[in-house]
Structure 1
């Protein structure tokens, strides 16, 4: 098993145990690949959910650019909802998991097929 496969297994476990979701493994793999090399960076692979600048980057770079969503208050509301579902007290919120949950939230799975 390669490093990426190990990370995907970790992400799937977080989705099951911390988020209460049964992951679509194919979609999770594609979202993880879409994150690029940041998944291997100890700092970049984690979402700093308490930093507004981090949330703004997710909105701008992922939701608007990658998922082609129109900007509006619902984007930040969705990010906050995903963070709540992951667990505000959870210290390690993996970027790939947050992105996966946002893809599911907005029904944008077709972008990863």
Structure 2
């Protein structure tokens, strides 16, 4: 299972840091084991609010405006719009990378 999540990230970030991915995988293992929670729905406003509040603000400690954070989430959603499910680990990795916060997981 872990390999699948890491491969999912590497579709969008081929040079993703393996140590960061392993750390994120440990952090979110329980979430990823739940079929509903393992994916991010970019069309669900409550889901996007959760990503903004719990991941970007709480986990990464970002203080940017909600508008800027929502724009970043939308940008990642557009990048991942290839018809496949949007794995939470990939979304989180790409957002952490965008904001220069991969170190949070080292």
Normalising by structure 1, what TM-score? 0.83
Task: Measure, in 2, the Cα distance between the counterparts of 1:31 and 1:50.
Answer: 24
Hey, what does 2:55 align to over in structure 1?
62
- Counterpart of 1:85 (choices 70, 79, 82) is 79
Inter-CA distance 88–71: structure 2 relative to 1 (3 Å threshold): farther
Match runs of 1:23-34 below 5 Å: 23-34=16-27
Distance 2:53 2:34 in 1: 21
Q: What is the TM-score when the length of structure 2 is the normalising length?
A: 0.88
How far is 1:43 from its partner?
0.8
Q: What CA deviation, in whole Å up to 9, does each residue of 1:35-57 have, x standing for no partner? A: 24111011110111110110011
CA contact (8 A) 1:82 1:98 kept: yes
Between the aligned partners of 2:77 and 2:105, the Cα distance in structure 1 is 22
Q: Which runs of 5+ in 2 are unaligned?
A: none
Asked which structure has the greater RCO (Cα within 8 Å, sep 6+), the reply is 2
Gaps of at least 5 residues in structure 1 are 1-5
Separation in structure 2 between the aligned mates of residue 14 and residue 66 of structure 1, nearest angstrom: 21
For residues 70 and 93 of structure 1, what CA distance do their matches in structure 2 show?
A: 25
Contact 1:15 1:22 in 2 (8 A): no
Moved over 6 A (4+): none
